[in-house]
C-alpha cells in the first residue's frame, strides 16, 4: 500500500473503536492523518495510536472534510445521522452498524468471501454482523467445493457483542457470584454470570430474533445466493470477547472430510484446530485477540448424505468487527 490516506474513526472511544485503532497500527495501515471522533462527552480525551496520543473530537456533520476513509462504529442511529454528510464530503464510509447492511446498493463485504463487492460502492460499504462474518469465513471454502443448500447454525455469543458495558457486566456479576452476592442485571435482562440465554435482540413476527434474521439475510446477500436456507439459533454465553458457532451444512454433493479440511487449510483467514486425539478443537480462549477464525470438529452429518458439521470460534471485536472493517479499507488502499 503506497498511497497514504486520511482516516477517521467514528466511535473511537468504544470497544470496537479502540480495536480499530489497535488494528490500524498493528497492520501498518497507510495513514496520513488520523481523526478520532466521538460524542461530546468523550471530546477532549486522548487515545494512543501509531506511537502518539490523539485527541478525540466531537462528531459533527463538518468532521469529514479532507477524510478519505471513515470507519464508523457508534451504532446505527449515529450512522444514519452522519454517514450521508461523510459521503457528501467525498469520504468512503465503512460502517460497522446494522443501518445500511440490507440496502441493495450498499455492498456488504467480508474480504475473504466477496472482496470484489467493495469496489461497487457509492461512498458507503457495510460491515456485516459479527456472527455472519465468522460463519462465512469458515463456509466460503466449503461453498466453493460444492454449493451449500442449507445451513443450521447455533451461536454461543460473547459479552463483547453488547459493547464495553456488556463485558463489564459479565465481569462484575462473575465477581459478585463468586463472592456469594446475587448477579444483578443492568445491561441485560437476565443474570449473565454462570448462565446463558437467548440472544437479547427483539423477537420478530416469525419467532426468530433480530440477530438470527441478520444471519439469514446477510448470508444470502454476501454469497449472492438467495436460495440458501439458513436456520439460526443465537445464544448469549458468559464469554468475554469470542463467539463460537456450531454449524451444520447440506451441500449439493458429498464433500469428504479430507477434502473439506484441505480446502479450509488453504483458505485465507482460517486456522485449523482439529486434533481429535486430544479432543482439542476451537475454543474462545484461544481465538481471543486472533485475526483468524478457528475451525475444527469437521465431520459428516449423520442425518444427511451430503452434510458436514463444523465448530468455529472467532474474536467478535476483531474479525467480527474492527479487523473486517480495516481489511475493507485495505482493499480500497491497495486499489
User: What distance in Å separates the CA atoms of residue 112 and residue 134, rounded to the nearest whole number?
Assistant: 11
The alpha helices in the chain, defined as continuous H runs, are 15-26, 76-88, 130-145, 163-178, 210-223, 257-266, 284-287, 323-334
Contact between 251 and 307 (Cβ < 8 Å): yes
What SS3 state is found at 116? helix
What SS3 state is found at 6? strand
- The residue among 122, 116, 192 whose CA lies nearest residue 157 is 192
Contact between 209 and 218 (Cβ < 8 Å): no
Instruction: Kindly state the cell numbers that stand for 147.
Output: 454449493
Only one residue has cell 436456507, namely 229
**Is 243 considered catalytic here?**
yes
The side-by-side arrangement of strands in the sheet containing 197-198 is: 197-198, 229-236, 148-157, 242-251, 307-315, 293-300, 270-272
User: What distance in Å separates the CA atoms of residue 86 and residue 92, rounded to the nearest whole number?
Assistant: 7
Instruction: Kindly state the cell numbers that stand for 190.
Output: 437476565
Choose the catalytic residue: 49, 130, 234, 313. Answer: 130
- The residue among 102, 98, 75, 73 whose CA lies nearest residue 219 is 102
Beta pairing class for 270-272 and 148-157: unpaired
**Is 54 considered catalytic here?**
no
**DSSP-assigned beta bridge partners for residue 58:** 38
Q: How far is CA 113 from the centre of its chain?
A: 13
Choose the catalytic residue: 121, 234, 243, 313. Answer: 243
Active site residues: 130, 243
Amino acid at each position: 500500500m503506497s498511497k497514504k490516506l486520511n482516516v477517521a474513526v467514528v466511535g473511537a472511544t468504544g470497544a470496537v473503536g479502540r480495536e480499530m485503532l489497535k488494528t490500524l497500527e498493528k497492520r501498518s495501515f497507510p495513514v496520513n492523518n488520523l481523526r478520532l471522533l466521538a460524542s461530546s462527552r468523550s471530546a477532549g480525551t486522548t487515545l494512543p495510536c501509531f506511537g502518539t496520543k490523539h485527541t478525540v473530537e466531537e462528531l459533527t456533520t463538518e468532521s469529514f472534510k479532507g477524510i478519505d476513509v471513515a470507519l464508523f462504529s457508534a451504532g446505527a442511529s449515529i450512522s444514519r445521522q452522519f454517514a450521508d454528510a461523510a459521503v457528501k464530503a467525498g469520504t468512503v464510509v465503512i460502517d460497522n452498524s446494522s443501518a445500511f447492511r440490507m440496502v441493495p446498493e450498499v455492498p456488504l463485504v467480508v474480504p475473504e468471501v466477496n472482496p470484489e463487492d467493495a469496489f461497487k460502492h457509492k461512498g458507503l460499504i457495510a460491515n456485516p454482523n459479527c456472527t455472519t462474518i465468522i460463519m462465512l469465513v469458515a463456509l466460503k471454502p466449503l461453498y466453493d467445493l460444492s454449493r451449500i443448500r442449507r445451513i443450521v447454525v447455533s451461536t454461543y455469543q460473547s459479552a463483547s457483542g453488547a459493547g464495553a458495558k456488556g463485558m463489564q457486566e459479565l465481569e462484575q456479576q462473575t465477581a459478585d457470584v463468586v463472592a456469594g452476592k446475587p448477579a444483578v442485571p443492568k445491561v441485560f435482562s437476565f443474570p449473565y454470570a454462570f448462565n446463558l440465554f437467548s440472544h437479547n435482540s427483539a423477537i420478530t413476527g416469525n419467532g426468530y430474533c433480530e440477530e438470527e434474521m441478520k444471519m439469514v439475510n446477510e448470508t444470502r446477500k454476501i454469497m449472492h445466493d438467495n436460495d440458501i436456507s439458513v436456520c439460526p439459533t443465537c445464544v448469549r454465553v458468559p464469554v468475554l470477547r469470542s463467539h463460537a458457532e456450531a454449524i451444520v451444512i447440506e451441500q449439493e454433493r458429498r464433500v469428504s472430510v479430507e477434502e473439506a479440511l484441505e480446502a479450509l487449510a488453504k483458505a485465507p483467514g482460517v486456522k485449523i484446530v482439529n486434533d481429535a486425539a486430544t479432543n482439542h478443537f476451537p475454543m474462545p480462549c484461544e481465538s481471543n485477540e486472533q485475526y483468524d477464525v478457528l475451525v475444527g470438529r469437521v465431520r459428516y452429518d449423520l442425518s444427511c448424505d451430503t452434510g458436514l458439521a463444523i465448530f468455529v470460534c472467532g474474536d467478535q471485536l476483531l474479525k467480527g468487527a474492527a479487523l473486517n472493517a480495516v481489511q475493507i479499507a485495505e482493499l480500497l488502499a491497495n486499489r
